[in-house]
Amino acid sequence: MPKPKHTVREQVAAHIEQETRSVEERIAAALRTSRTFKGALTATELEPILSNVVFTLVASQRFAGIDVPITHNISRMQVTIQRMYADVMCEVHVHEPIIAFIQFQYQLENDPHQDGQLRLKGGTIKVTETTRRLDLAAKAALRMLNVRAIALRELRDPNDIIRRTLPPQLEVHGLDDLCFENIDLTFMDDDTLHVVLRAGT
C-alpha cells in the first residue's frame, strides 16, 4: 500500500492533468499533424497551463537538509489578460516536508526588444509565505530555500519555462522525446496570448 503522502501527490498530479488535457490535446493534435501549433489562448485556458508549470517547478526543488520530494498542490491560480499583459496570482499549498502556503503575484508582458518573447514586467515578483504561527522549522526552511530568488531566476525567461515543462506533459498524448525548435508567445490586443510552437524533427 502506498504511503499517504504518495497518494496525495498522485491525486494532485492527476487533477492538474485533467484540467490541462483539453488544451494539451489541441496542441498535441497540431504537433502530430504538422509539427507546429498556432493558436490563441484565453486567460482561462492559460490558467491550467501555468498551474502545471508552477507545480512542475516546485516539485523540482528541495528544502535544505531535507532530501525528500515536496508534496504540494496549486490551491489558487488566477490569470487576467488586458492591455497586452497578464496579471498572475498563484498560491501553492505545501503539505510535505513542511506545511506552508506560498503566494506569487507578478505580471508578464511582451518583450519590446524581441518579438515572440515574454518577460517579467518590471522585473519584480511579490511572494507571500504563510506558515503555522509557531512552526519555526517551516519558517527557517522557507528562508533557506529563498523562494523569491528561485521565482525571479525562473521567470527571467518565461518562454524557456514552457520549453522545459510542456514536453513531458504531452507524452501522455503520444508525443515522446519532444523538443521545441521555436516558441513564440505574444499578448494580443484582443486579450489573448498568441502561441506558436514548432517542434524539432
Check whether 64 has a pLDDT greater than 80: no
**What does the pLDDT look like over 149-179, one tens digit per residue?**
999 999 999 999 999 999 988 888 889 989 9
3-class DSSP state of 19: helix
Check whether 30 has a pLDDT greater than 90: yes
pLDDT attached to residue 11: 65
DSSP-assigned states of every residue in 107-120: EEEE-TTSTT-EEE
pTM here is 0.83
pLDDT attached to residue 53: 86
pLDDT band at residue 90 using 50, 70 and 90 as cut-offs: very high
Is 112 within 8 Å of 98 (Cβ atoms)? no
pLDDT attached to residue 69: 80
Is 123 within 8 Å of 148 (Cβ atoms)? no
User: What residue ranges do the domains of the chain occupy?
Assistant: 4-196
**What does the pLDDT look like over 32-56, one tens digit per residue?**
999 999 999 999 999 988 998 888 8
Q: Where are the alpha helices (DSSP H) in 35-72?
A: 43-59
pLDDT attached to residue 6: 61
SS3 per residue for 158-199: HHHHHHHHHHHHHHHHCCCCCCEEEEEEEECCCCCEEEEEEE
Check whether 13 has a pLDDT greater than 60: no
Give the span between the Cα atoms of 150 and 44, in whole angstroms. 26
> What does the block give as the cell for 60?
523540482
Give the span between the Cα atoms of 25 and 104, in whole angstroms. 28
147-154, Cβ contacts within 8 angstroms, sequence gap of 24 or more: 147/102, 150/57, 150/61, 151/104, 151/106, 151/125, 151/127, 152/120, 152/123, 152/125, 154/57
> What does the block give as the cell for 117?
518573447
pLDDT average, residue stretch 184-193: 98
> What does the block give as the cell for 120?
517579467
